[in-house]
Structure 1
Amino acid sequence: MESSVATTVLLPIALGVVMFGLGLSLTTKDFARVLSYPKAVVVALVCQVLVLPALCFGLVYALSLPPELAVGMMLLAASPGGTSANLFSHLAHGDVALNVTLTAVNSLLAVVTLPLVVNFSLGHFLAGDTGIGLQFGKTLQVFAIVLIPVALGMLARNRMPVLAERTRKPVKLLSLVFLVGTILVAVYQERANIGGYLADIGLATLLFSVLSIALGYLAPRLFRVDRRQAIAAAMEIGIHNSVLAITIALTLLDNTRIAIPGAVYGIVMFFTAGAFGYLISRRVTAPTSTAEVP
């Protein structure tokens, strides 16, 4: 995967549009909603922030991945849930309100947890390479990439609610167009290497996706969390913001090989999440209202 205009210019723009669109869908109530079902939120966040990176660490060791690909997997594990989790949760009859809350809180936490996990991974797997890392300045860039577009979106919704509501769907469509266009350009430029990427990291990303979804669903159920909320947690933990992982790898770490797991996972996760959603939705009755599940 070589750096190009598609990956170094269009990708950050696409990520900014995606995060701005996320902000348009959020209010301060989404953060306060943590108090409405604290057990579901705490279990999901512990799984995503602590358990999942540890699980990924064990996976890359078990598969003996090359150092840079191992760092890419850990970067992926540290990335918050993607906005697509809301859609998959809705289709699988999950608690979408919980998804929105988890995305909001975890995006905030990621400003701290993501640099910690990435720097640990770089020091552990690439100890001899001191040329890359997320130092303070780059950590501030993570803050800018993750939170500033979200904050602007929330501000727009607060100051201009009618306009924000009207533009929310067009912004989502625009973000989708940006993402699909960027991915298609990148895939075309890397068409000769795609087979090699899949051979290098395909199994790891598939196993990681399955384990993420399984952890996200089974851990809440173990703590007697409502089934619809467990589905929401599974989608939130199983669908990572791979665009964020790729952007950080290419722009902040300036390492194209670290970006490969995020690129492959960005494709694989839709198949695994779709399969899980199809299977679990057959066991769950669709909600008859938008009322929150206690």
Structure 2
Amino acid sequence: MDSPLVTALVPAVLAAIMFGLGLSLTVGDFRRVVEHRRTVAAALGCQLLLLPAVCFGLVELFGLAAAPAVGMLLLAASPGGTMANVYSHLFGGDVALNITLTAVNSILAVVTLPIVVNLAVAHFDPAGDGGEVGLQFGKTTQVFAIVLVPVALGMVVRARRRRFAERAERPVKVLCLVLLAGIVLAALFAERKNAGGYLVEVGPVAVVFSVLSLATGYYAARLVRAGHAQAVAACMEIGMHNTSLSLTIALSPSLLDSTEMAVPSAVYAILMYFTAGAAGLLLRRAAPTPVSPAGESPR
């Protein structure tokens, strides 16, 4: 992935993704943390601390090779994706809480994601085969610039030009997805001879991690006495990671520059729609039955 086009395009796509996220955020999204502080604290604790630890245990248990193992930890450290909002809406979750979690987690991930990935790099040492890993602690400032600055700019645009931001949000998202899909397809084509082996190696780990992420989100919220709708929101937010972000970081020549590290995110990006959909259907059946004003369940 050392094409000059990719070298220039991947960081630009990442910046555009984060700008699009900023277009959907307001200061009010962060203020809602106070309203649901226990649920937010539980969800973020799971996302930032528990899930990377669980993921580390899984890659050790399954014996993943170094590069896919780092790729799984990169995925685990990534915040919730925008599809979490959609799935939360479909299955009766508190979408406002989803937006709050996305907003806070996206900011925190600027610090936590490089730390988790660098610890994974130090442990698994994927550069031992003679290659180089670009994401070192000295690169944290660069990640900050590519990720946080566009988010801030997007929020400024939304605050000052709300209608423009609302009109631009969807086209920016679609453009980013198209460009990212092209980059991923190019990466997979370059590694087409190894694609089957990657799927066999990473697929089981990705499925187990997805299921555990979804279950952790729901039950962690319930543990702090959150309502069903808030627990569904936490389930989807924690269980549907931002694969656009993790893919772009893995493929970026100025960061990790590794197709092998991108494979877990690519596999997970497909599988999570099925695991999250199954979880949503189960949670919909488990939802409390509405009670009529007279105290009787509706017929």
TM-score, normalization: structure 1?
A: 0.88
Q: How many pairs align? A: 286
User: Separation in 1 of the partners of 2:226 and 2:154?
Assistant: 31
User: Match of 1:58?
Assistant: 57
User: Which has the higher mean CA deviation after the structures are superposed, 85-94 or 14-23?
Assistant: 14-23
Counterpart-to-counterpart distance in 2, 1:114 and 1:284: 34
Measure the CA separation in 1 of the matches of 2:283 and 2:50.
23
The aligned counterpart of 2:297 is none
Q: Match of 2:166?
A: 165
| Separation in 2, partners of 1:53, 1:44 | 13
Q: Tell me the equivalent position of 1:215.
A: 216
Q: In the aligned structure 2, how far is the partner of 1:208 from the partner of 1:80?
A: 15
Q: Work out whether residues 55 and 73 of structure 2, in 8 Å CA contact, stay in contact via their aligned partners in 1.
A: yes
* Unmatched tracts of structure 2, length 5 or more: 291-299
The answer as to 2:121 corresponding to 1:115 is: no
Residue by residue, what CA displacement relative to the aligned partner does 1:35-85 show, whole Å, maximum 9, x if unpaired?
A: 011011000000000000111111111111112211111111111111111
Report if the CA contact (8 A) 2:20-2:172 is conserved: yes
Deviation track 1:162-185 (CA, whole Å, cap 9, x = no partner) reads 221222233333334334444445
Q: Counterpart of 1:260?
A: 263
Q: Distance in 2 between matches of 1:120 and 1:280?
A: 35
Deviation at 1:147, TM superposition (A): 1.2
Q: Which residue number corresponds to residue 14 of structure 1?
A: 13
- How far residue 196 of structure 1 moved from its aligned partner, in angstroms, is 1.6
Could you tell me which residue of structure 1 aligns to residue 175 of structure 2? 174
Q: Which residue of 1 aligns with 2:234?
A: 233
Shift of 1:283: 3.5
Which residue of the partner structure matches residue 45 of structure 1?
44
Structure 1 partner of 2:80: 81
The aligned runs of 1:83-102 (5 Å cut-off) are 83-102=82-101
Q: 1:259 to 1:169 in 2, by over 3 A?
A: closer
Matches of 1:103 and 1:286 in 2, distance apart? 29
Write the deviation string for residues 107-134 of structure 1: whole angstroms up to 9, x where unpaired: 1111111111111111111187494253
Aligned mates of 1:255, 1:86 — CA distance in 2: 29
Contact 2:127–2:133 under 8 Å retained in 1:
no
Q: Which runs of 5+ in 1 are unaligned?
A: 288-294
Q: Following superposition of structure 1 onto structure 2, how do residues 178-189 of structure 1 map, counting pairs within 5 Å?
A: 178-189=179-190
Look up the match of 2:207: 206
1:143 match = 144
**1:244 Cα deviation (Å)?**
1.6
Structure 2 CA distance, aligned partners of 1:7 and 1:263?
17
Partner SS, residue 94 of structure 1: coil
Aligned equivalents of 2:247, 2:7: Cα separation in 1: 10
- Distance in 1 (CA, whole Å) between partners of 2:222 and 2:263 is 33
Pair 1:243–1:215, CA change in 2 (3 A): same
Distance 1:218 1:253, change over 3 A: same
One-letter amino acid matched to 1:160: R
RMSD: 2.4
- Structure 1 window deviating more from structure 2 (266-275 vs 122-131): it is 122-131
After superposition, the C-alpha distances for 1:194-219 in whole angstroms (9 at most, x for unaligned) are 22211121111111111111111111
Provide closer, same or farther for how the CA distance between residues 187 and 123 of structure 1 changes in structure 2, counting only shifts above 3 A: closer
Describe the shift of the 1:143–1:216 C-alpha distance in structure 2 as closer, same or farther (beyond 3 A).
same
Bigger Cα displacement from structure 2, 249-258 vs 266-275: 249-258
